[in-house]
Protein backbone atom coordinates (compact mmCIF):
# COMPACT_ATOMS: atom_id res chain seq x y z
CA UNK A 1 0.00 0.00 0.00
CA UNK A 2 1.29 3.43 -0.99
CA UNK A 3 1.01 6.61 1.00
CA UNK A 4 2.03 10.12 -0.02
CA UNK A 5 4.35 11.89 2.37
CA UNK A 6 6.59 14.91 1.87
CA UNK A 7 6.08 14.96 -1.88
CA UNK A 8 6.83 11.27 -2.48
CA UNK A 9 4.81 8.10 -2.86
CA UNK A 10 6.31 5.52 -0.52
CA UNK A 11 5.27 2.20 0.97
CA UNK A 12 3.18 2.72 4.12
CA UNK A 13 5.88 1.07 6.25
CA UNK A 14 8.17 3.98 5.34
CA UNK A 15 5.71 6.66 6.40
CA UNK A 16 7.51 8.03 9.44
CA UNK A 17 7.12 11.51 10.88
CA UNK A 18 9.36 13.34 13.34
CA UNK A 19 8.73 13.45 17.10
CA UNK A 20 9.06 17.22 16.64
CA UNK A 21 6.27 17.54 14.10
CA UNK A 22 3.94 20.33 15.23
CA UNK A 23 0.94 18.20 14.35
CA UNK A 24 2.20 15.60 16.80
CA UNK A 25 3.18 18.11 19.51
CA UNK A 26 0.37 20.68 19.26
CA UNK A 27 -2.26 19.30 16.88
CA UNK A 28 -1.06 22.25 14.80
CA UNK A 29 -2.43 21.34 11.40
CA UNK A 30 -5.46 20.70 9.25
CA UNK A 31 -7.00 17.82 7.32
CA UNK A 32 -9.61 16.72 4.81
CA UNK A 33 -11.35 13.48 4.15
CA UNK A 34 -12.77 12.77 0.73
CA UNK A 35 -14.63 9.95 -0.91
CA UNK A 36 -13.91 7.74 -3.90
CA UNK A 37 -16.85 6.21 -5.80
CA UNK A 38 -16.18 3.80 -8.67
CA UNK A 39 -12.56 4.90 -8.83
CA UNK A 40 -13.47 8.59 -9.12
CA UNK A 41 -12.99 11.37 -6.57
CA UNK A 42 -16.23 12.94 -5.29
CA UNK A 43 -16.39 16.76 -4.78
CA UNK A 44 -12.57 16.87 -4.61
CA UNK A 45 -12.39 20.54 -5.62
CA UNK A 46 -14.72 21.57 -2.79
CA UNK A 47 -12.66 19.57 -0.26
CA UNK A 48 -9.36 21.09 -1.37
CA UNK A 49 -10.78 24.60 -1.48
CA UNK A 50 -11.86 24.04 2.12
CA UNK A 51 -8.33 22.79 2.96
CA UNK A 52 -6.90 26.06 1.60
CA UNK A 53 -9.44 28.02 3.62
CA UNK A 54 -8.50 26.13 6.82
CA UNK A 55 -4.82 26.82 6.06
CA UNK A 56 -5.49 30.52 5.62
CA UNK A 57 -7.48 30.74 8.86
CA UNK A 58 -4.56 29.31 10.89
CA UNK A 59 -1.81 31.10 8.95
CA UNK A 60 -0.35 27.88 7.50
CA UNK A 61 1.56 28.47 4.29
CA UNK A 62 0.26 26.16 1.54
CA UNK A 63 1.70 28.20 -1.33
CA UNK A 64 3.71 25.18 -2.52
CA UNK A 65 0.42 23.50 -3.49
CA UNK A 66 -2.60 24.20 -5.68
CA UNK A 67 -6.09 22.69 -5.72
CA UNK A 68 -5.41 21.15 -9.14
CA UNK A 69 -2.03 19.79 -8.02
CA UNK A 70 -3.58 18.17 -4.95
CA UNK A 71 -6.33 16.61 -7.06
CA UNK A 72 -3.65 15.10 -9.34
CA UNK A 73 -1.71 13.69 -6.36
CA UNK A 74 -4.92 12.22 -4.92
CA UNK A 75 -5.85 10.62 -8.24
CA UNK A 76 -2.42 9.07 -8.49
CA UNK A 77 -2.63 7.71 -4.94
CA UNK A 78 -6.06 6.20 -5.62
CA UNK A 79 -4.81 4.62 -8.86
CA UNK A 80 -1.63 3.26 -7.30
CA UNK A 81 -3.66 1.59 -4.54
CA UNK A 82 -6.43 0.53 -6.92
CA UNK A 83 -9.16 2.06 -4.75
CA UNK A 84 -12.57 1.60 -6.38
CA UNK A 85 -14.73 2.59 -3.42
CA UNK A 86 -13.19 4.15 -0.36
CA UNK A 87 -11.70 7.37 0.90
CA UNK A 88 -8.61 9.53 1.05
CA UNK A 89 -7.32 11.24 4.19
CA UNK A 90 -5.05 14.26 3.75
CA UNK A 91 -3.35 16.19 6.52
CA UNK A 92 -0.95 19.09 6.60
CA UNK A 93 0.93 20.19 9.71
CA UNK A 94 2.92 23.35 10.30
CA UNK A 95 6.08 21.27 10.02
CA UNK A 96 8.99 20.07 12.10
CA UNK A 97 10.62 22.51 14.53
CA UNK A 98 11.88 22.51 18.15
CA UNK A 99 8.85 22.51 20.45
CA UNK A 100 7.86 26.12 21.11
CA UNK A 101 4.35 27.55 20.89
CA UNK A 102 4.84 30.50 18.49
CA UNK A 103 4.99 29.76 14.76
CA UNK A 104 8.36 28.32 13.69
CA UNK A 105 10.75 30.19 11.36
CA UNK A 106 9.54 31.06 7.85
CA UNK A 107 11.63 28.36 6.19
CA UNK A 108 9.83 25.55 8.07
CA UNK A 109 8.05 23.44 5.45
CA UNK A 110 4.57 22.06 6.11
CA UNK A 111 4.45 18.27 6.41
CA UNK A 112 1.91 16.82 4.01
CA UNK A 113 0.57 13.26 4.38
CA UNK A 114 -2.13 11.38 2.47
CA UNK A 115 -3.37 7.81 2.60
CA UNK A 116 -6.24 5.95 1.01
CA UNK A 117 -8.45 3.08 2.11
CA UNK A 118 -10.98 0.86 0.39
CA UNK A 119 -14.44 0.14 1.79
CA UNK A 120 -18.07 -0.07 0.72
CA UNK A 121 -20.80 2.48 1.28
CA UNK A 122 -22.68 1.91 4.58
CA UNK A 123 -25.72 0.38 2.83
CA UNK A 124 -27.24 -1.28 5.87
CA UNK A 125 -27.24 1.86 8.04
CA UNK A 126 -28.42 4.03 5.14
CA UNK A 127 -31.45 1.77 4.80
CA UNK A 128 -32.25 1.25 8.47
CA UNK A 129 -30.89 4.33 10.24
CA UNK A 130 -28.65 4.72 13.27
CA UNK A 131 -28.86 5.70 16.94
CA UNK A 132 -27.40 8.89 18.40
CA UNK A 133 -26.89 10.34 21.85
CA UNK A 134 -26.68 14.00 22.89
CA UNK A 135 -23.60 15.46 24.59
CA UNK A 136 -22.32 18.88 25.62
CA UNK A 137 -20.28 20.59 22.91
CA UNK A 138 -17.04 21.25 24.80
CA UNK A 139 -14.98 22.25 21.73
CA UNK A 140 -13.26 25.55 20.94
CA UNK A 141 -15.02 28.37 19.06
CA UNK A 142 -13.49 27.81 15.60
CA UNK A 143 -15.16 24.56 14.61
CA UNK A 144 -15.38 25.94 11.04
CA UNK A 145 -11.66 25.10 10.67
CA UNK A 146 -10.99 21.43 9.90
CA UNK A 147 -8.22 21.30 12.48
CA UNK A 148 -6.31 18.24 13.71
CA UNK A 149 -7.36 19.14 17.28
CA UNK A 150 -10.14 16.60 17.63
CA UNK A 151 -10.07 15.82 21.35
CA UNK A 152 -13.59 17.17 21.96
CA UNK A 153 -14.87 15.17 18.98
CA UNK A 154 -12.98 12.05 20.10
CA UNK A 155 -14.44 12.21 23.63
CA UNK A 156 -17.94 12.76 22.23
CA UNK A 157 -17.68 9.82 19.80
CA UNK A 158 -16.25 7.55 22.47
CA UNK A 159 -19.27 8.30 24.67
CA UNK A 160 -21.56 7.38 21.76
CA UNK A 161 -19.65 4.13 21.26
CA UNK A 162 -19.98 3.31 24.98
CA UNK A 163 -23.75 3.84 24.60
CA UNK A 164 -23.99 1.60 21.50
CA UNK A 165 -24.83 4.64 19.40
CA UNK A 166 -23.21 5.65 16.10
CA UNK A 167 -23.02 9.38 16.68
CA UNK A 168 -22.89 11.99 19.45
CA UNK A 169 -24.99 15.06 18.67
CA UNK A 170 -23.40 18.05 20.38
CA UNK A 171 -25.19 21.06 21.87
CA UNK A 172 -24.13 24.36 23.44
CA UNK A 173 -26.52 25.17 26.30
CA UNK A 174 -29.27 23.19 24.59
CA UNK A 175 -28.65 24.54 21.06
CA UNK A 176 -27.73 21.73 18.65
CA UNK A 177 -24.49 22.43 16.76
CA UNK A 178 -23.31 19.29 14.94
CA UNK A 179 -22.29 15.67 15.41
CA UNK A 180 -18.79 14.62 16.49
CA UNK A 181 -17.98 13.99 12.80
CA UNK A 182 -21.17 14.99 10.96
CA UNK A 183 -23.70 17.76 10.42
CA UNK A 184 -27.19 17.44 11.95
CA UNK A 185 -30.63 18.21 10.47
CA UNK A 186 -34.17 18.23 11.88
CA UNK A 187 -36.97 17.77 9.35
CA UNK A 188 -40.30 19.15 10.47
CA UNK A 189 -43.49 19.80 8.51
CA UNK A 190 -41.67 19.37 5.21
CA UNK A 191 -38.78 21.72 6.05
CA UNK A 192 -35.14 20.96 6.76
CA UNK A 193 -33.53 22.82 9.68
CA UNK A 194 -29.79 22.92 10.35
CA UNK A 195 -27.35 25.09 12.32
CA UNK A 196 -26.05 28.13 10.36
CA UNK A 197 -22.58 27.61 8.87
CA UNK A 198 -20.80 29.95 11.28
CA UNK A 199 -17.78 29.42 13.57
CA UNK A 200 -19.60 26.78 15.66
CA UNK A 201 -19.79 24.08 13.00
CA UNK A 202 -17.87 22.69 10.05
CA UNK A 203 -19.47 23.74 6.78
CA UNK A 204 -19.75 20.18 5.48
CA UNK A 205 -19.33 19.43 1.80
CA UNK A 206 -22.16 16.88 2.12
CA UNK A 207 -24.23 19.63 3.82
CA UNK A 208 -23.72 21.76 0.70
CA UNK A 209 -24.83 18.86 -1.54
CA UNK A 210 -27.95 18.38 0.61
CA UNK A 211 -28.65 22.12 0.45
CA UNK A 212 -28.51 22.00 -3.35
CA UNK A 213 -30.69 18.88 -3.56
CA UNK A 214 -33.26 20.46 -1.22
CA UNK A 215 -33.37 23.57 -3.44
CA UNK A 216 -33.80 21.40 -6.53
CA UNK A 217 -36.88 19.68 -5.07
CA UNK A 218 -38.29 22.81 -3.41
CA UNK A 219 -37.85 21.60 0.15
CA UNK A 220 -37.07 24.66 2.32
CA UNK A 221 -33.52 24.49 3.79
CA UNK A 222 -33.55 26.66 6.88
CA UNK A 223 -30.20 27.58 8.43
CA UNK A 224 -31.38 28.40 11.93
CA UNK A 225 -30.27 27.24 15.35
CA UNK A 226 -32.68 24.89 17.17
CA UNK A 227 -32.80 23.12 20.52
CA UNK A 228 -32.29 19.48 21.50
CA UNK A 229 -36.03 19.33 22.32
CA UNK A 230 -36.90 20.56 18.82
CA UNK A 231 -34.63 17.90 17.32
CA UNK A 232 -36.14 15.08 19.39
CA UNK A 233 -39.59 16.28 18.39
CA UNK A 234 -38.76 16.34 14.65
CA UNK A 235 -40.58 14.20 12.05
CA UNK A 236 -37.26 12.98 10.66
CA UNK A 237 -33.62 13.46 11.69
CA UNK A 238 -30.53 13.03 9.55
CA UNK A 239 -26.78 13.39 9.98
CA UNK A 240 -24.38 13.81 7.07
CA UNK A 241 -20.71 13.52 6.23
CA UNK A 242 -18.39 12.37 3.50
CA UNK A 243 -18.31 8.86 4.92
CA UNK A 244 -21.94 8.42 6.10
CA UNK A 245 -23.63 10.44 3.30
CA UNK A 246 -27.33 11.16 4.08
CA UNK A 247 -27.76 9.03 7.22
CA UNK A 248 -31.16 8.62 8.92
CA UNK A 249 -31.24 8.84 12.74
CA UNK A 250 -34.02 6.74 14.25
CA UNK A 251 -33.28 7.22 17.93
CA UNK A 252 -31.78 10.07 20.00
CA UNK A 253 -31.06 9.17 23.63
CA UNK A 254 -34.30 7.38 24.68
CA UNK A 255 -36.50 9.09 22.11
CA UNK A 256 -37.55 7.06 19.05
CA UNK A 257 -37.85 9.24 15.91
CA UNK A 258 -40.61 8.59 13.33
CA UNK A 259 -41.51 5.23 14.96
CA UNK A 260 -38.00 4.04 14.23
CA UNK A 261 -38.51 4.26 10.47
CA UNK A 262 -36.64 6.16 7.78
CA UNK A 263 -38.81 9.11 6.68
CA UNK A 264 -39.99 10.05 3.21
CA UNK A 265 -37.99 13.28 2.82
CA UNK A 266 -34.88 11.44 3.97
CA UNK A 267 -35.47 8.78 1.31
CA UNK A 268 -35.88 11.46 -1.38
CA UNK A 269 -32.63 13.14 -0.33
CA UNK A 270 -30.85 9.79 -0.34
CA UNK A 271 -32.10 8.99 -3.83
CA UNK A 272 -30.87 12.31 -5.21
CA UNK A 273 -27.60 11.98 -3.35
CA UNK A 274 -27.12 8.60 -5.09
CA UNK A 275 -27.69 10.38 -8.41
CA UNK A 276 -25.05 12.98 -7.53
CA UNK A 277 -22.33 10.32 -7.20
CA UNK A 278 -23.05 8.64 -10.53
Active site amino acids = 146
Binding mask 239-258 for ligand PDD (x = CB under 6 A): -xxxx---------------
Give 131 or 146: the residue with its C-beta nearer to ligand PDD.
146
Number of residues that bind ligand PDD (CB under 6 A): 15
CB of 219 to ligand PDD, least distance (A): 19
When the beta carbons of 56 and 99 are compared against ligand PDD, the nearer one is 56
Other Cβ atoms within 10 Å of 223 Cβ, number:
13
Residue 23 near ligand PDD by CB under 6 A = no
User: With CB under 6 A as the contact rule, which of the stretches 5-13, 61-69, 178-186, 250-258 interacts with ligand PDD?
Assistant: 178-186
**Is residue 170 at the binding interface for ligand PDD, with CB under 6 A as the rule?**
no
Smallest gap from residue 107 Cβ to ligand PDD (A):
31
Shortest approach of ligand PDD to residue 142 CB, angstroms?
A: 12
Site residues (CB under 6 A) for ligand PDD?
33, 153, 178, 181-183, 202, 204-207, 240-243
Amino acid sequence: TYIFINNKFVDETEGNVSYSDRGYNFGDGIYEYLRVYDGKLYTAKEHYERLFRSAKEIGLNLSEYTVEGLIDITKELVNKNDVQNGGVYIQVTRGVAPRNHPFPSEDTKPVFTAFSKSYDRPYDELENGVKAITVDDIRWLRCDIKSLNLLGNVLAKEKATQCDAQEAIQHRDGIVTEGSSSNVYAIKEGKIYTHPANHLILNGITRRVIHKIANDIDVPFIEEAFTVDFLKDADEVIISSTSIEVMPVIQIDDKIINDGKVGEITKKLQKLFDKSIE
